[in-house]
Structure 1
Amino acid sequence: MKNNIKALRAVHHLTQDELAEQLNVSRQTIISLEKERYNPSITLAFKLSRVFHCQIEDIFIYEED
């Protein structure tokens, strides 16, 4: 799923390590999310929305096939 994680992380001046620590996940998870190789659980999506102070829809771009 396409997402804006890398851009939002930059706006909030967070490194991948810092974001991973805030979300209690590995840096590899952040890398996989940013490269769109991994779709997060709904719980992780909500955590991301809290960190970035926005709606889940502002982070993830849903496209029907």
Structure 2
Amino acid sequence: MPKIKSPLSSREVFARNLRRARRMKDMTQESLANEAGVPRAYVSRVERGNVNISIDNADVLARAIGISLHDLVDPSKFVGFDDD
């Protein structure tokens, strides 16, 4: 019997979309971190969904990558962009 996938949490959606958007823009975690003024390790933890990110930090990362915050929390964005 196939396993039914549960919907992603908002944190997981943000993490997935940030990683996919960054890769689509050919940015490294290091370049995104530098642009946003945050440590690279922080970007890594955010992209893995290990950080309960504040709305302010989410906005900083969205601006640094050049994407609206709305797009980074939209579960239907970047569907089909396989990054795994």
The normalised TM-score by structure 2 is: 0.63
Instruction: Select the structure that is richer in strand.
Output: 1
Answer whether contact 2:32 2:65 (CA < 8 A) is retained: no
| Structure 1 unmatched ranges of 5 or more | none
Structure with higher Rg: it is: 2
| Structure 2 unmatched ranges of 5 or more | 1-10, 76-84
Report the counterpart of residue 45 of structure 1 in structure 2. 58
| 1:15 maps to 2:28 | yes
The normalised TM-score by structure 1 is: 0.78
Report the counterpart of residue 8 of structure 2 in structure 1. none
CA distance in 2, matches of 1:52, 1:23: 8
Structure 1's consecutive aligned runs of 4 or more residues displaced over 3 angstroms after TM superposition are none
Q: Quote the sequence identity (%).
A: 26
CA distance in 2, matches of 1:17, 1:26: 8
* Deviation digits for residues 5-49 of structure 1 (CA, Å, limit 9, x no counterpart): 110001111101111111111111011011001022222111122
RMSD after superposition: 1.7
Number of residue pairs matched? 62
Give the C-alpha shift of residue 58 in structure 1: 1.2
Q: Indicate the structure whose relative CO is greater, using CA pairs within 8 Å and at least 6 residues apart.
A: 1
| 1:29 maps to 2:79 | no
